[in-house]
Amino acid sequence: MSNENEHRRDLKFGLVLTPRGSGRGWVQQVRDVEGQGFTSLLIPDTLWTTSPFPALAAAAAVTTTLRLRTWVLAAPMRSPAVVVRESSALQLLSDGRFELGIGSGRPDAEREAEQLGVPWGSAGARIKQVEQVIAAVRERIEPVPQIIVTAAGPRMLASAGRTADRIGLALPPRATEEELLATVARARAATTGSVGLSQQLTGLAGRLPIWLTRGGLDPVALAGTPGMLNGDVRQMADTLLERYETTGIDEFIVPGELAEYFAPVIHLLG
């Protein structure tokens, strides 16, 4: 039992949430997230959602323990100097609770780069941009925020292994158990020290966020994938504990729409 309790203390839980409606509503949402026991609040970085930095600054003002993360910042969209400036402000306003989630950009983000008037570049160039931003943040911000790099392919995983405090496993919703384990193995092989691993969950007990259903996915099709947690609260909690023990994944990230369904799992593992 003591070993299981230690594992529970090691687990972390992030929630991906986007401000909608009003500032007052956002503040209440953020307070609810902290009250539900989530470790980190994650805000996407896209042109069709609220800019993450001001949204996280508002969240910092009404919370005390919740960590605040970009999820994920696309490195080609901003220069290292811009990221340093914004990250430094958030690290100050949050009393050191900011986490820089960063990656080389989603496959469909090239169009956003065109709208912003910034070059997209090759995969190699974008990976280099990630490394340049991280180096600038580590050099110029005190205290240095935790750096979380999303990665799946060999080159990005190798880069993350050199630069990140934590690796977000960038797997598609349909990824199989074998693909998850293979990606974990590649991530471990790429790192030399103690680096955390994060997995973004797809759904819970037959529920999916709206953005996935609009993309043509359904819970039945994803029922056997590691991103979909099945069963009751106890069974979902046991699945996470077992996954932590077998893979070392110590952070699980939940879609914002499913927060109320996952909160009992956090309570059970708390």
Check whether 2 has a pLDDT greater than 70.
no
**Mean of pLDDT values over 48-61:** 97
**Using 50, 70 and 90 to split pLDDT, how confident is the model at 3?**
low
Indicate the average pLDDT of the chain. Answer: 94
Closest CA to 207 of 268, 261, 265, 267: 261
Structure-block tokens of residue 135: 């180096």
Query: What domain range is 30 assigned to?
Result: 2-269
Check whether 5 has a pLDDT greater than 80.
no
Check whether 32 has a pLDDT greater than 90.
yes
Give 77-110 pLDDT, tens digit per residue.
999 999 999 999 999 999 999 999 999 998 788 9
- Are the CB atoms for 37 and 267 separated by under 8 Å? yes
Between CA 24 and CA 34 the distance in angstroms is: 16
Provide the CATH number for the domain around residue 96: 3.20.20.30
pTM comes to 0.95
Give 226-265 pLDDT, tens digit per residue.
999 999 999 999 999 999 999 999 999 999 999 999 999 9
Looking at residue 1, what is its pLDDT? 44
Check whether 4 has a pLDDT greater than 70.
no
Check whether 6 has a pLDDT greater than 80.
no
Looking at residue 141, what is its pLDDT? 98
Between CA 172 and CA 100 the distance in angstroms is: 22
Check whether 37 has a pLDDT greater than 70.
yes
Task: Return the percentage of the chain with pLDDT > 70, whole number.
Answer: 97
Give 142-183 pLDDT, tens digit per residue.
999 999 999 999 999 999 999 999 999 999 999 999 999 999
Looking at residue 211, what is its pLDDT? 85
Check whether 129 has a pLDDT greater than 80.
yes
In order of 14, 71, 81, 213, the CA distances from 220 in angstroms are 25, 27, 45, 11
Query: How many folded domains does the chain comprise?
Result: 1
